[in-house]
Chains A and B, each alone.
Chain A
Amino acid sequence: MAGLLLQIVQGLSLGAVYAGLALALVLVHRFNGIVNFAQGELAMLSAYVAWQLLDAGLPFWAALPITLAVSVVGGMLVERSIIRRVEGDRELAPVAVTVGLMVFVNAAAGLVWSFAVRSFPNPFPAALSFGSAQSGFSALGVLGVVAVMMLLLHVFFRHTGAGLLMRAVAADPVAARLSGVRVGRVLGLGWGMASAVGAIAGILVAPLLFLEPNMMGGVLVYAFAAAVVGGFRDPVAAVVAGLGLGVAETLAGTYVAFVGADLKVIVPLLVIVVVLMLRRGPAGTAGQR
């Protein structure tokens, strides 16, 4: 019984990482109307930035805000320099560009940091741990960080003037411009915020998966499935689906004999297919705005 509980907590913490990256996908899609295939690789890049800072001797809780700031600025630069050119395009150009960005960032990270696997320090106190409860504590830490991040996002969007203007742009960019909102800046800021949210997912998952350029590939598949459940629009649905996927994956890997560790990735793919079938047609993907 305690074993099952631990499995669920671990599933939730893994799910919190999926939820975080899914939230980043939803943010970008809400503001730019683009499905960002490079979201996972940008998160990986952020994890390397954090690793570099930790390697230079900074404590984790100092490296985190710096990494987030770098991610926001980096995300805005990517949006301004590359994404802006294809933003109006509804169909293939944005997909091609973000897939290209994904491949490019992956290769560039390999060049800079090599494809060697590195260990990434776990920010949550091991001192509190005893026996099998250690993973329980770090799992709760991951859940806590993602929960705080979501709370901050909620407060920002619901209770600040800037958040209101961003929601206006998401609802109707033309009407927002007619109200004097500088939509270009909001689109950049949305991309930057998504990069920071993805960075948190990357930094939290790095200690579990080890740091390497291909680290986020699998996570992106799960985050994608979670975002599809929310139609790439609904942040709450995406987060709930991310958490559910984490739990389902962990439990299926442990308790369903034929799934095992290798077939776990079937879970998100099944979710994507089933959701899309229930939605009838491509409404769950970029076709919907």
Chain B
Amino acid sequence: MTVNGPGDHPRSLFDPPPGTGNGPAALLRVHGLRAGYGPARVLHGVDLELAAGEMVAVLGPNGAGKTTMLRALSGLVRGRGSVLLDGTELLGRAPEEIVRLGVAHVPEGRGLFAPLTVEENLRIGAHLRPANERAEDMRRVLAWFPVLRAHLSQPAGTLSGGEQQMLAVGRALMTRPRLLLLDEPSRGLAPVATRRMFDVLRAVGSHDRVAMLLVEQDARLALEFTSRALVMESGRLTVGGPAGWPQAGRRPSLFRPGR
């Protein structure tokens, strides 16, 4: 597959040069992404490529800009540079339009509709899907997160922290995304539940070819479940990882733990 086939999005000066990488064509290409809040710059040029179905961890200290990067990708903060999803430029689009293109974002703090029931939360996630597929999608999500089944008619805000986290991920999966942005989905989960959640994510990712960007504080865990990890530091994605971990290459975003 060529990187720049006919009918592709017109290239701008900021697009990465064609022909980098000889693996599968990337689903997501981020180049020179800069973003911030008012005068405060947070991201200083992030480069990133993600293939369809690929699961990549993003590590990094507090305040490095991990959340800001996900927010820029989903349209919640304005970004500059270039973010191409399958050739379509995402920057400048509203979050509700970016979701329609297949990007689901589970935000830090979950972003549930607290007064609405668990079932209603899931139905809202599915509202863009064809009506005849929603029931099947709901069954899938409840099979992945069976604890939710017992609480379907309970307000989301009254779930336990871990259950809320599962609901947030479940709701995002109801949109059947091509790219899933997960901001610390393990927060509030017991270790066993965390592993179960990551198992589900990995299974969905490979089965439905959902690419995932997983922000995670627990480096060891993230590296266990993802194919590679990036480190965000002061607004840039950098080479390397925690001391002692093997580094597979010198190029950024190629840090592969030995598995």
Measuring CB to CB, which residues of chain A are less than 8 angstroms from any residue of chain B? 161, 164-165, 167-168, 171-172, 174-183
Whether B96 lies near A182 (C-beta < 8 A) is yes
Q: Chain B interface residue count: which class? A: 20 to 34
Whether B124 lies near A176 (C-beta < 8 A) is yes
- Total A-B pairs, Cβ < 8 A: 66
Whether B107 lies near A179 (C-beta < 8 A) is no
Which of these, B99, B113, B115, contacts A180 with CB under 8 Å? B99
Measuring CB to CB, which residues of chain B are less than 8 angstroms from any residue of chain A? 74, 76, 94-96, 99-100, 104-105, 107, 111-116, 120, 123-125, 127-128, 171, 175
User: Which 4 residue pairs are nearest across A and B when measured between Cβ atoms?
Assistant: A175-B111, A180-B99, A171-B113, A177-B95
Q: How far is the CA of A180 from the CA of B113 in the complex (A)?
A: 14
Q: How far is the CA of A174 from the CA of B112 in the complex (A)?
A: 10
Q: Given A161-B127, A164-B123, A164-B124, are A177 and B96 also a contact pair (CB < 8 Å)?
A: yes
Whether B127 lies near A180 (C-beta < 8 A) is yes
A160 to chain B minimum Cβ distance, whole angstroms, is 12
Q: Given A161-B127, A164-B120, A164-B123, are A178 and B95 also a contact pair (CB < 8 Å)?
A: yes
Query: A177 — which chain B residues lie within 8 A by C-beta?
Result: 76, 94-96, 99
Query: A182 — which chain B residues lie within 8 A by C-beta?
Result: 96
Chain B residue at smallest Cβ distance from A183: B96
Whether B124 lies near A179 (C-beta < 8 A) is yes
Chain B residue at smallest Cβ distance from A161: B127
* Most chain B beta-carbon neighbours within 10 Å: one of A161, A178, A182: A178
Whether B127 lies near A179 (C-beta < 8 A) is yes
Whether B128 lies near A180 (C-beta < 8 A) is yes
Supply 6 A–B pairs (Cβ within 8 Å), ascending by A: A164-B120, A165-B124, A167-B116, A171-B113, A174-B111, A177-B99
Q: How far is the CA of A102 from the CA of B198 in the complex (A)?
A: 55
Chain A residue at smallest Cβ distance from B129: A180
Query: B100 — which chain A residues lie within 8 A by C-beta?
Result: 180
Which of these, A161, A172, A181, contacts B96 with CB under 8 Å? A181
Which of these, B112, B120, B175, contacts A175 with CB under 8 Å? B112
Q: How far is the CA of A174 from the CA of B111 in the complex (A)?
A: 8
Whether A171 lies near B125 (C-beta < 8 A) is no
Query: B175 — which chain A residues lie within 8 A by C-beta?
Result: 179-180
Query: B99 — which chain A residues lie within 8 A by C-beta?
Result: 177-180
Whether B124 lies near A168 (C-beta < 8 A) is yes
Chain A residue at smallest Cβ distance from B125: A179
Whether B171 lies near A179 (C-beta < 8 A) is yes
Q: How far is the CA of A165 from the CA of B113 in the complex (A)?
A: 11
Which of these, A161, A172, A183, contacts B113 with CB under 8 Å? A172
Which of these, B76, B116, B123, contacts A174 with CB under 8 Å? B76
Q: Given A171-B115, A172-B113, are A178 and B107 also a contact pair (CB < 8 Å)?
A: yes
Query: A181 — which chain B residues lie within 8 A by C-beta?
Result: 96, 124, 127
Q: How far is the CA of A176 from the CA of B94 in the complex (A)?
A: 12
Whether A171 lies near B96 (C-beta < 8 A) is no
A198 to chain B minimum Cβ distance, whole angstroms, is 25
Which of these, B74, B114, B115, contacts A178 with CB under 8 Å? B74
Query: B104 — which chain A residues lie within 8 A by C-beta?
Result: 178
Chain A residue at smallest Cβ distance from B128: A180
Chain B residue at smallest Cβ distance from A172: B113
Q: How far is the CA of A42 from the CA of B199 in the complex (A)?
A: 56
B74 to chain A minimum Cβ distance, whole angstroms, is 7
Q: How far is the CA of A177 from the CA of B76 in the complex (A)?
A: 9
Q: How far is the CA of A179 from the CA of B111 in the complex (A)?
A: 10
Which of these, B105, B111, B125, B128, contacts A172 with CB under 8 Å? B111
B85 to chain A minimum Cβ distance, whole angstroms, is 15
* Most chain B beta-carbon neighbours within 10 Å: one of A168, A172, A179, A182: A179
A239 to chain B minimum Cβ distance, whole angstroms, is 19
Chain A residue at smallest Cβ distance from B94: A177
Q: How far is the CA of A171 from the CA of B105 in the complex (A)?
A: 18
Whether B120 lies near A180 (C-beta < 8 A) is no
Chain A residue at smallest Cβ distance from B168: A175
Whether A168 lies near B95 (C-beta < 8 A) is no
Query: A168 — which chain B residues lie within 8 A by C-beta?
Result: 113, 116, 120, 124
Query: B127 — which chain A residues lie within 8 A by C-beta?
Result: 161, 164-165, 179-181
Q: How far is the CA of A174 from the CA of B127 in the complex (A)?
A: 16
Query: A175 — which chain B residues lie within 8 A by C-beta?
Result: 107, 111-113
